[in-house]
Chain A
Amino acid sequence: MLSRPWWRIGWRNLGRNRRRTLITAAGLAFGYLAVVVLIGLMDGLTAEMIESGTGVLSGQLQVHDIEYRPERKIYDTIGGRDGADVERLVREVAADPVVEAAAPRVFAGGLVSSGESTVAGILMGVDPQLEAGVSRLMDSIVRGRSPADGTNEILIGTEMARQLDVDVGFDELVLIAPAADGSMGYDLYTVSGVYQSGMAELDASYAVMPIASLQILVALDPGRIHEIAASVTDPWLAPEAADRLTAELSPLDLDIEVAPWTELRPEMLDYAQLADGWRFVVIFIVFAIAIFGVANTMLMATYERRREIAVMLALGTTPFSIVRSVLSEALALGILSLAFGAAITFPVMFWFHNAPPDLSWIYGDYTIFGALIRPRLRVEYHFAMALWTGVALLITALLASLYPAARAARVPPADTLSGL
């Protein structure tokens, strides 16, 4: 369609009023920047939500007894009442190519008392070494250290520590928990450390201790655990890894389920999908606004040239060729804007991706679906969307020039050339 002379005419026409061309291109380029950065921010928020929602505690993948969810009964351990070969299971889960680390866990509800005050808490038994690879809990210790294996040491959140008025080294923390055999378990613990995840509910209620110590407290045999949590290299690979693990672990005959976060937290998946759909709405609205600027410019440009167009028509140029020249001009404008837009967009994306500006000095943390979101402008790269946005920009430029092109093609040569 764009044979050479029309292409060159279009390009040269852009140069006739450079200032106008630049302002119009700036509008389109700014639109491109806005769309790509906004989509990047939306993706960044989704990624942050998934990372925080799965990374702080739950992991991206969990193995349970098939009965365990949603009631989470204390006696629904993996492998039923007989338990399982925990070490082997953890090793097999960790052996999956996309799994980074896997760790066993035991959960129980109980009261934590310092003598003066008592709070209710969720007791979580972990393998301190393995756990560090799965959740961020062990990395968020602000004082002290993680509990050591084989001891009655406990790691509590800052909020729980404040409510109990205890700190690292306090060695008379009483834990009382209903046990799996129906009795009440109680024991004395030493606070080895205090963590701060930033999530108030977590910091107030989760107390972490070595897995063996909790198993003794709630009368579970060493082979009985509730959960194996695993972290995955990319959250979006978790569903396939879960399917693969289900197949791999089926010979063990344990009645277990392997659930990725998309199944544990379906609302997060919904949100991610809605955010995906929203991208095209963003593109549409921004370019729907930008189209007026381009239409106006092209209308002015063709109106200015109506004498020249009349001469071309009088000399035998077909109206279609006029349309073609206007469209080539618009396309050239679009390409120019795109180049300009890409030139300003990529540095911003690079900056926001590698060093996201932190807004925590004006805005506090907030939560989505219980996942803590820090107020920062984090973007994720999305090259396909950057490409689609470019296509949308070019289409906008072409659509905007359809009406000016049609008007140009209908310039009456005789009248235009006779009158001024």
Chain B
Amino acid sequence: MTRAITLVRLALRNLRRQARRSAITAAAMIVGGALMIFSLSIGDGGHEQWIESGARMGSGHIAIQAPNFHKSRKIDDRLSSSARGAAESALRRPEVAEHTLAAVPQLAVVGLASSPTGARPAQIIGVDPIAEAEFSILDDKVIEGRYLQPDDRLAAYVGAGLLEGLDLRLGSRFVLTAQDADGEIAGQLVRVVGVYRTGVPEVDEAVIHIPLATAGSWLRSGDDVTTIAVLLDQSSRVRPVSRILERELSAEREAGNLTVLGWREAMPVLDAAVRIDDLGNYVWQGIMFGIIALGIVNTVLMSVMYRKREFGLLQALGFTPRQTGGLIVTEGVILTFVSGLIGIALGLFLTWYFFRDGLDFSFAWDEEWSFSGIAMDPVFVPLFRVTRVIQSLVFLFLIGTFASLYPAYRATRIDVAEAMKFER
């Protein structure tokens, strides 16, 4: 223990002796650490927005559905009333309810929307107007008219793309056609009460909201729903909450009545986009720290070369080569760790101070940017996570250790007699 303390004190003194060199290396590390935490928190914040946007436009962070529904999209694969009851009571459990922002019933079918001008395939979703307004972002994106209301009967809330495509306007009537619960093709006349625009063509050109009661009588499915969509307070809660729901609903799941689907399975394309974006971020960090690590190798190596005599003397006095190497690694690790810590703290502070309300990219693009089924918000609100800070610290620690290994190896190989021979 005392030996370790001596080693640390020696290392600290050595770093102080070359204050300028240490400072320049530290500066690279501080800038790198700050950039890393900045880009990670902005990236995480962006992803959280994407996921929430995807969840609020579709079937939530978690969707409870009949096992086949996700693939078949058929009304035949709707939730039985017993399965729905079980799911709703599971959602009422306190450990689930505390993280749930909203849980809404949806009856989703694929059908044809047609007007005198033409016909388009549409995703028709029967919704509970009040609950859905809480859950969905579509009601906030209204550009004309209003969202559905509880006493609406033959009302439809339509995307701007579909409205244009069918040459409709507010108040126009059009016909929805789809296969009903009995397997017959059924039509339903509805009237446009509101128009929205999300900027995502896949949504604006296809998704129609109608009241659940209207959908139920049109499709002869009564009060049945295909999906219970659950919105959580944070995407990181998806896994624990899914696990609780799966445990609570195990009887229904084993009977093949329902399945609990996380957003990653429900929206594989968005999942891929988030993971690819993360990969890009990691590659970027890897490159930056690769360059920084080479700088550290150089600094530590030079400090070894300059101190050959000193190490020779230390070893002549009984320092083992191993302790010499340990000293070098300690120096490298202290330098990177302290400067990394400062960098991370600085990064957290600067990101929080300047960008806590969001990093605004709207000068570069307008709100019509979309990918993988979601609209990209040009304002990135950073998300600070303790796990990211710990990951970054571990990463910096590893960089410091690896960068000092080669110089340390060189130091262990110093020939004592040779090193002390000349006065330089």
A-side residues, CB < 8 A to B, are 17, 19-20, 23-24, 26-27, 30-31, 34, 38, 70-74, 108-111, 113, 116-122, 162-163, 177-178, 182, 200-201, 204-205, 267, 270-271, 274, 277, 285-286, 288-290, 292-293, 295-297, 299-300, 359, 363-370, 375
Question: How distant is A171 from chain B, measured CB to nearest CB, in Å?
Answer: 20
B94 near A: Cβ within 8 Å? no
Closest B residue to A69 by CB, please name it. B164
Digitize B28-48: 1 where CB-to-A-CB distance is under 8 Å, 0 elsewhere.
Answer: 100110010000000000000
Bound complex: CA A363 to CA B74 (Å) = 28
Among all A-B residue pairs, the 9 with the closest Cβ atoms: A109-B119, A293-B295, A120-B121, A292-B28, A120-B112, A364-B272, A27-B294, A366-B272, A366-B273
DSSP majority for the B interface?
A: helix
Question: How distant is A274 from chain B, measured CB to nearest CB, in Å?
Answer: 5
Bound complex: CA A297 to CA B296 (Å) = 11
Q: Is the CB of B165 within 8 A of A72?
A: yes
- Mind listing 10 A-B residue pairs with CB under 8 Å? A74-B118, A109-B120, A111-B185, A118-B179, A120-B119, A122-B121, A286-B291, A289-B288, A364-B269, A366-B273
Bound complex: CA A290 to CA B372 (Å) = 35
Q: Is the CB of B369 within 8 A of A74?
A: no
Bound complex: CA A369 to CA B302 (Å) = 51
Digitize B114-150: 1 where CB-to-A-CB distance is under 8 Å, 0 elsewhere.
Answer: 1011111110000000000000000000000000000
Which residues of chain B are within 8 angstroms of A204 by Cβ–Cβ distance? Answer: 110
Bound complex: CA A364 to CA B179 (Å) = 32
Known contacts A274-B364, A364-B268; A31/B291 CB under 8 A: yes
B167 near A: Cβ within 8 Å? yes
Q: Which of chain B's residues 3-31 have a Cβ closer than 8 Å to chain A?
A: 20-21, 24-25, 27-28, 31
Bound complex: CA A365 to CA B111 (Å) = 26
Which residues of chain A are within 8 angstroms of B365 by Cβ–Cβ distance? Answer: 267, 270-271, 274
Bound complex: CA A365 to CA B299 (Å) = 43
Q: Is the CB of A23 within 8 A of B372?
A: no
Which residues of chain B are within 8 angstroms of A72 by Cβ–Cβ distance? Answer: 118, 165
Which residues of chain A are within 8 angstroms of B114 by Cβ–Cβ distance? Answer: 109, 178
Bound complex: CA A111 to CA B35 (Å) = 53
B98 near A: Cβ within 8 Å? no
Bound complex: CA A229 to CA B73 (Å) = 32
Digitize B290-315: 1 where CB-to-A-CB distance is under 8 Å, 0 elsewhere.
Answer: 11101101110110010000000000
Give the interface residue-count category, chain B: 35 or more
Q: Is the CB of B20 within 8 A of A38?
A: no
Q: Is the CB of A270 within 8 A of B20?
A: no
Which residues of chain A are within 8 angstroms of B71 by Cβ–Cβ distance? Answer: 162
B229 near A: Cβ within 8 Å? no
For the A-B complex with A113-B185, A122-B120, A367-B273 known, give 7 more contacts whose Cβ atoms are closer than 8 Å.
Answer: A73-B167, A109-B114, A118-B179, A118-B185, A182-B116, A267-B368, A292-B295
Which residues of chain A are within 8 angstroms of B350 by Cβ–Cβ distance? Answer: none
B394 near A: Cβ within 8 Å? no
B2 near A: Cβ within 8 Å? no
Which residues of chain A are within 8 angstroms of B299 by Cβ–Cβ distance? Answer: 296
Q: Is the CB of B275 within 8 A of A363?
A: yes
Which residues of chain B are within 8 angstroms of A297 by Cβ–Cβ distance? Answer: 298
Q: Is the CB of A120 within 8 A of B369?
A: no
Which residues of chain A are within 8 angstroms of B183 by Cβ–Cβ distance? Answer: 116-117
Digitize B334-362: 1 where CB-to-A-CB distance is under 8 Å, 0 elsewhere.
Answer: 00000000000000000000000000000
Which residues of chain A are within 8 angstroms of B20 by Cβ–Cβ distance? Answer: 299
B287 near A: Cβ within 8 Å? yes
Q: Which of chain B's residues 399-422 have a Cβ closer than 8 Å to chain A?
A: none
Most buried by A among B73, B178, B297: B297
Which residues of chain A are within 8 angstroms of B251 by Cβ–Cβ distance? Answer: none
Which residues of chain B are within 8 angstroms of A370 by Cβ–Cβ distance? Answer: 201-202, 370
Bound complex: CA A340 to CA B114 (Å) = 64
Closest A residue to B24 by CB, please name it. A296
Q: Is the CB of A293 within 8 A of B372?
A: no
Q: Which residue in A26, A205, A296 is a CB contact (below 8 Å) of B121?
A: A205
Digitize B311-324: 1 where CB-to-A-CB distance is under 8 Å, 0 elsewhere.
Answer: 00000000000000
Closest A residue to B114 by CB, please name it. A178
B279 near A: Cβ within 8 Å? yes
B72 near A: Cβ within 8 Å? yes
Q: Which of chain B's residues 371-412 have a Cβ closer than 8 Å to chain A?
A: 371-373
Bound complex: CA A205 to CA B122 (Å) = 10
B248 near A: Cβ within 8 Å? no
Question: How distant is B78 from chain A, measured CB to nearest CB, in Å?
Answer: 15
Q: Is the CB of A367 within 8 A of B118?
A: no
B177 near A: Cβ within 8 Å? yes
Most buried by A among B113, B119, B268, B273: B119
B276 near A: Cβ within 8 Å? yes
